[in-house]
Chains A and B, each alone.
Chain A
Amino acid sequence: MSVDGPTRTFRRQGRVVVVGASLAGLRAAETLREEGFTGALTMIGDEPHGPYDRPPLSKQVLLGKTPADGTALPRRRAIDAEWRLGVAATGLDLTEKRVRLADGQEVGFDRLLIATGTRARPWPRDAEADLDGVFVLRTSDDAARLDQRLAARPRRVLVIGAGFTGSEVASACRERGLEVTVAERGPAPLVGALGGVIGAIAAELQREHGVDLRCCITVTALEGDPAGRLRRAHLSDGTALDVDVAVIALGAMRNTEWLAGSGLGAGPRGVACDAGCRAFDVHGIVTDDIFVAGDVARSPHPLFGYQFLSLEHWGNAVAQAETAAHNMISAGPDRRPHLWVPAFWSAQFGVNIKSVGVPPMGEEIAVTQGSLAEHRFAAAYGFQGRVIAAVSFDHARWIDFYRERIESAAPFPPDFTGVDRPPGGVRPVPADFPDPALPTHGPTVTLSGYSPSDRRVTFTPARA
């Protein structure tokens, strides 16, 4: 690998600052060291904890199987960094190359990685959100509080929003033997992420497991008692429910406010960057020293029509962080693109769900293996005659095959003869995604880009 003069110097004695000390931040830091960066490394995080893993928060932690503070991320190697935990970054000066901190201090850098992720979308009315018994679930502190409250056996839990997080919370409640009502604005759980066909299966799963699922409904108000404890929820159909706990699971908001006015192309949809994780400024000009990774990033992807993708996927945070770190310490020609095929998993109601690709781009869906009725299947999504995504329920071991179909723009409907064909053969039906203009809990992939053309893309990933 050729490393030119300035890059070599930077690798030896440069200053890297990482803002956001969680999954993407940690993996980037480890990669920097792994690949030979020996300069100064500062990790800034607003949470008081060291980096920890979030997926278990809505699964093992809510089941009481793992304590909330027991999900620290395993370290791949020592990173020898200066940690500034419990202090938020509040501003960025691009000219002077300094990050401002909430405690009034500033930290200078040569290169910066933005990995500030997302936070839970709060309940819109503050007074109601402040009631005792109203929770969100994003941090380990959130999970600890909620777990404690569930252990006190509330009479009924209301989950607002049936996306992945809401559905997992509902699943954990049922497993703990708690009564739970799920209220969802859309026609079914998971519709934003997986469409109506799969949403209907998710709805069956919930009901079979005793969830009081109510769709096409919104919660209009949360009501407390004089002591400020949540007591009742009012629904848009005019009914009311007595509840002790409400979990707000309305999706996530990107942590970009601290970048306002910095001149970076950052906003509610995330920080825009090129395929090499370099951030764009407000003029759409790529910066050289500011990189982005994880949930907060939005980057163009050739497989998906160069649309900008914002992904709330664990695997993406890891892969993008590794690429960003590599590019931060590499000279131009040695840099590589982040061309990860989106992949996401969930565990709920005893079912392992996996998806690859970008389901919300799918116009049609076809079950290719197994059977919907048995809730064990693999299905492919089609977009303009090619496979654009796939989802599996308890069929995860096939998912690599579908990833390859997506990477090679294989034709849709799928034309292969394989094992475990559904009894009626492979028949495409509309995937039935709700109008993206309507607010729901939100998908975990957001498309937010300009599509240059409707060209067909042949994509050959560099694996070797």
Chain B
Amino acid sequence: MTSGTLLHQITDYANRADPYPLYAELRRTPVARQDDGVYTVSTYWEINSLLHDPRLSSDARNRVPLADGSLSPDPEEDAALPPSFIRLDPPEHDRMRRLATRPFGPPNCPRRIHDMRGELARMVSDLIDGFEGREQADIVDDFAYPFPVMVICNLLGVPHQDETRFHGWADTIVSALDPSPAEGAAERQRVAQQARTELGRYLAGLIEEHRRTPGHDMLSALATDHGPDGRMSQLELITTAVLLLIAGHETTVNLIANGALTLLRHPEVLGRLREDPDLAVPLVEELLRYEPPVQLLPQRTALADVDVAGTLIPKGSPIWLMLASGNRDPRRFPDADRFDPGRRDNQHLGFGSGIHYCFGAPLARLEAQIALTELARRLVNPRLVEDPPPYRQNPVLRGPRHLPVSFDGLTA
């Protein structure tokens, strides 16, 4: 089946640097059944309506075996920890997300993100100061990775010195998010589950400390705060902390790195951003459309027969929502393959939509806006050393593994 091979090509590492022509081909069949029974949905309106469709479940417990008898991989399948809210349906999802929102955003903490502005700006300048005296830097290792990690650690109340420990766990967990049926997938899965358990154990200790001596961080609030929904149980708290810690930086790294890469490929936009920092807001929205850090959502299951664009997806089928493809759908966005920060009507799917709309979106936006504006302002004559750069293995969380950039110095 051609579409089957097409999806394999998309997840194939060889096409990681530029999957967009393949997405264009995939869109010719908006809803395509793959060999293994997975349904891919690749056009904007169809993805968008499925994101609001209560007949789709995110709960792994609703999955049925694939044609070959296997289950699609799920890194959260793990006896030790319950699923995080990303892998739950309402009403459990809603309750957990409400609890997690209390210390993070409106209505209880409307200014939390806004008040982080100064701290974020300081972290960004410090990291760029570190480029002093060099002619080249790796925008991923030296900047796009450490920055969100520091941010999420501060936000959650994780001490910096522990960063290297959970870096390892996070890498392992994220690598299992790769849904491509590759050799060693089962082993990868097992190792990932173990990493998740270890990370959970580490966080459990931390939560205990915060419970005894609470600070202004989110873990302290989650462990002590009491709202109309009560409080998270210890296991719920751990699983939420694991989710926030990992989702809180693995995606932002890609947003910033993809952003830097795109800007270096469009020097005129880079120049405009240098002159006009306000451009950062629409620019980041366009980036989320053009190079979304989460390319697809491979974890939905149909609870009923669902008719999508004339194709019946049978009850029980696994569904992959191809967000990055929907973002380039020419029926939705005129001139969809053009990077245009001036785009007005830009309701991209970069953060998904519906009840699972990215929890950290306001923070990710701010981080990317500040990071890219400062890079544009301070690097003198930045150039890509390698184009395309080497990519990460992961087709879901897609971004450069390294992004070597040379420059002629720094402005203050």
Residues of A within 8 A of B (CB): 350, 368-370, 376, 378, 397-401, 404, 416-420, 463-464
Q: List 25 A-B contacts (CB under 8 A).
A: A369-B54, A370-B90, A376-B91, A397-B353, A397-B355, A398-B54, A398-B354, A400-B49, A401-B49, A404-B49, A416-B55, A416-B304, A417-B55, A417-B304, A418-B303, A418-B304, A419-B89, A419-B90, A419-B303, A420-B54, A420-B89, A420-B94, A463-B45, A464-B331, A464-B332
B304 & A420 in contact (Cβ 8 Å cutoff): no
Q: Give the distance to chain B from A356, nearest Cβ to Cβ, in Å.
A: 12
Q: Which B residues touch A418, using CB under 8 A?
A: 53-55, 303-304
Taking a contact as CB atoms closer than 8 A, the residue among A416, A463, A464 that contacts B54 in the complex is A416
**Given the contacts A397-B354, A416-B304, A370 and B52 also touching, CB distance less than 8 Å:** no
B328-363 contacts to A, CB under 8 A, are 331-332, 353-355, 357
Q: Which A residues touch B48, using CB under 8 A?
A: 400
Q: Which B residues touch A417, using CB under 8 A?
A: 55, 303-304, 315
Is B251 among interface residues, defined by CB-CB distance under 8 A?
Answer: no
Q: Which B residues touch A404, using CB under 8 A?
A: 49
- Taking CB as reference atom, which chain B residue is nearest A463? B45
B303 & A397 in contact (Cβ 8 Å cutoff): no
Q: Which B residues touch A378, using CB under 8 A?
A: 54
Taking a contact as CB atoms closer than 8 A, the residue among B52, B57, B59 that contacts A399 in the complex is B52
Q: Give the distance to chain B from A129, nearest Cβ to Cβ, in Å.
A: 36
Q: Which A residues touch B45, using CB under 8 A?
A: 463-464
Q: How far is the CA of A404 from the CA of B49 in the complex (A)?
A: 8
Q: Give the distance to chain A from B281, nearest Cβ to Cβ, in Å.
A: 13
Digitize B93-127: 1 where CB-to-A-CB distance is under 8 Å, 0 elsewhere.
01000000000000100000000000000000000
Q: How far is the CA of A18 from the CA of B54 in the complex (A)?
A: 43
Q: How far is the CA of A399 from the CA of B45 in the complex (A)?
A: 15
A376 & B94 in contact (Cβ 8 Å cutoff): yes
Q: Give the distance to chain B from A33, nearest Cβ to Cβ, in Å.
A: 14
Residues of B within 8 A of A (CB): 45, 48-49, 52-57, 59, 89-91, 94, 107, 303-304, 315, 331-332, 353-355, 357
Q: Give the distance to chain B from A453, nearest Cβ to Cβ, in Å.
A: 28
Q: How far is the CA of A369 from the CA of B56 in the complex (A)?
A: 13
B91 & A370 in contact (Cβ 8 Å cutoff): yes
Q: Which A residues touch B90, using CB under 8 A?
A: 369-370, 419-420
Q: Which A residues touch B57, using CB under 8 A?
A: 419
B332 & A398 in contact (Cβ 8 Å cutoff): no
Q: Give the distance to chain B from A1, nearest Cβ to Cβ, in Å.
A: 14
Q: How far is the CA of A418 from the CA of B355 in the complex (A)?
A: 14
- Taking CB as reference atom, which chain B residue is nearest A420? B90
Q: How far is the CA of A26 from the CA of B244 in the complex (A)?
A: 42
Q: How far is the CA of A281 from the CA of B385 in the complex (A)?
A: 69
Q: Which B residues touch A376, using CB under 8 A?
A: 91, 94
Q: How far is the CA of A164 from the CA of B55 in the complex (A)?
A: 31
Q: Which A residues touch B59, using CB under 8 A?
A: 419
Which of B49, B52, B54, B107 gathers the greatest number of chain A CB atoms within 10 Å?
Answer: B54
Q: Which A residues touch B49, using CB under 8 A?
A: 400-401, 404
Q: How far is the CA of A369 from the CA of B89 in the complex (A)?
A: 11
Q: How far is the CA of A399 from the CA of B54 in the complex (A)?
A: 10
Q: Which 4 A-B pairs have the closest CB atoms?
A: A418-B54, A419-B89, A420-B90, A400-B52
Q: Give the distance to chain B from A416, nearest Cβ to Cβ, in Å.
A: 5
- Taking CB as reference atom, which chain B residue is nearest A415? B304
Q: Which B residues touch A419, using CB under 8 A?
A: 54-57, 59, 89-90, 303
Q: Which B residues touch A416, using CB under 8 A?
A: 54-55, 304
Q: How far is the CA of A397 from the CA of B49 in the complex (A)?
A: 11
Which of A404, A416, A419 gathers the greatest number of chain B CB atoms within 10 Å?
Answer: A419
A398 & B94 in contact (Cβ 8 Å cutoff): no
**Given the contacts A376-B94, A418-B303, A397 and B357 also touching, CB distance less than 8 Å:** yes
